[in-house]
A and B are shown apart, each in its own frame.
Chain A
Amino acid sequence: MKADQSLRQVRRGHVRFLGPLGAVLGALVTFPVLGQDAGAALRDDSAREVDAAPSADVVPPEVVERRDASYPARAIAERLEGVTTLLVTVEVDGSVGDVEVAESAGEVLDAEAVQTVRTWTFRPARRNGAPVRAKIRVPFEFQLPVGAAPEPAPGADSLPAAPALAERAAGSSAPEAQGSRATAAAEVEVHGERPLRTEQRSASDFVVGRELMQAAPHAEGADVLRTTPGLYMARAEGLAVGHRYMLRGFDADHGQDLELRVGGLPINLPSHIHGQGYADLGFLIGETVREVHAIEGVHDPRQGDFAVAGTLDIRLGVAQRGLRASTRHGSFGTSRQLLSWAPAEVDDATFAAAQLQQTDGFGDNRQGKSGSAIAQWGGGAGALRYRALAIVHAARARLAGVLRADDIADGSVGYYSVYPFETARAQNALSTRALLGMFAEYRGERGESAEASAWVSFDDFRSQHNYTGFIQQSQTLPNVAGRGDLIEQLNRTRSLGASARYRTPVMHAASWLSGMVEAGLSARVDGIAQAQNLIDATVRSQTWDQRVDADILGTDIGLWGDLDWHVHRHVALRLGMRADVLSYSIDDRLGNRVTLTRPEDTFIAGFRRSALGIAWGPRATAEVRPVDGLSFHAAYGEGYRSPQARTLDDGEEAPFSKVRSADVGVRLGDTYDYRLTLSGYYTHLSDDVAFDAEEGRLERIGATRRVGAVAHIELHPTSWLVGAASATFVDAELLEPPPPSAEEPQPPFREGQNLPFVPPLVLRADLGLQRSLGLALGSGIEGRAGLGFSFLSARPLPYGELADPVALLDAALAITWAPLELGFEVHNLLDTRYAASELNFASDWRPGSARSRVPARHIAAGAPRAWLITVGVSL
Chain B
Amino acid sequence: MTSRQRAAAVRHLACCLALAASCGACVDTGQDRVSVPLEVAGTARDEPIQGRAGFAIDLVRAEIAFGPLYLCAGALAGDNCDAARLEWRDSVVVDALAPEPFGAGDLVGVSGEVRSAMYDLGIPSLLTATHPVELAAATALSGNSVRLAGTATRGAESLAFELQMPIAQAESAERGLPIVRVSGAPELVRDVTGEELALRVRFDPSPWLRDIDFEAVAGAAEEDPFGPDGQAQRAVRGALLSGARPAFEWLTLP
Contact = CB atoms under 8 A, between A and B. Distances in A.
A597 to B, nearest CB: 9
Contacts of A596: 173
B83 A805 contact: no
A799 B110 contact: yes
Contact of A802 (B27, B74, B91, B176): B27
Interface in B109-153: 109-112, 115, 120, 124, 126-129, 133, 135
Contacts of A746: 72-74, 83-85, 110, 112
A853 B81 contact: yes
Given A746-B73, A854-B84, A854-B110, A482 B129 contact: yes
Main SS of the interface on chain B?
loop
A470 interface: yes
Contact of B110 (A791, A793, A855): A855
B6 to A, nearest CB: 15
Contact of A850 (B111, B124, B172): B124
A759 to B, nearest CB: 8
Most chain B Cβ neighbours within 10 Å, of A694, A743, A852, A854: A854
A277 to B, nearest CB: 26
A863 to B, nearest CB: 21
Contacts of B67: 850
Given A753-B29, A800-B32, A851-B124, A842 B17 contact: no
A754 B175 contact: no
Nearest to B109: A854
A795 B127 contact: no
A750 B30 contact: yes
Main SS of the interface on chain A?
loop
A855 B27 contact: no
Interface string B76-88: 1000111111110
Given A753-B30, A800-B30, A852-B87, A745 B75 contact: yes
A301 interface: no
Given A482-B127, A740-B73, A750-B30, A807 B17 contact: yes
A805 B21 contact: yes
Interface string A785-818: 0000001011111011110010100000000000
A754 B85 CA distance: 20
Contact of B89 (A479, A743, A799, A852): A852
Given A794-B24, A802-B29, A855 B83 contact: yes
B128 to A, nearest CB: 4
Contacts of B80: 742-745
Contacts of B75: 742, 745
A694 B109 CA distance: 18
A171 interface: no
Contacts of A472: 127
A482 B126 contact: yes
Most chain A Cβ neighbours within 10 Å, of B27, B90, B173: B27
Nearest to A469: B128
A760 interface: yes
Interface of A: 470-473, 478-479, 481-482, 596, 694, 734, 740, 742-746, 748-750, 752-754, 759-761, 763, 791, 793-797, 799-802, 805, 807, 841-842, 844, 847-855
Which 9 pairs of residues, A with B, have the shortest CB-CB distance? A794-B24, A753-B30, A745-B74, A800-B31, A482-B127, A746-B73, A750-B30, A847-B128, A853-B84
10 contacts: A740-B73, A752-B30, A753-B28, A753-B30, A754-B29, A759-B23, A793-B23, A800-B32, A850-B124, A851-B68
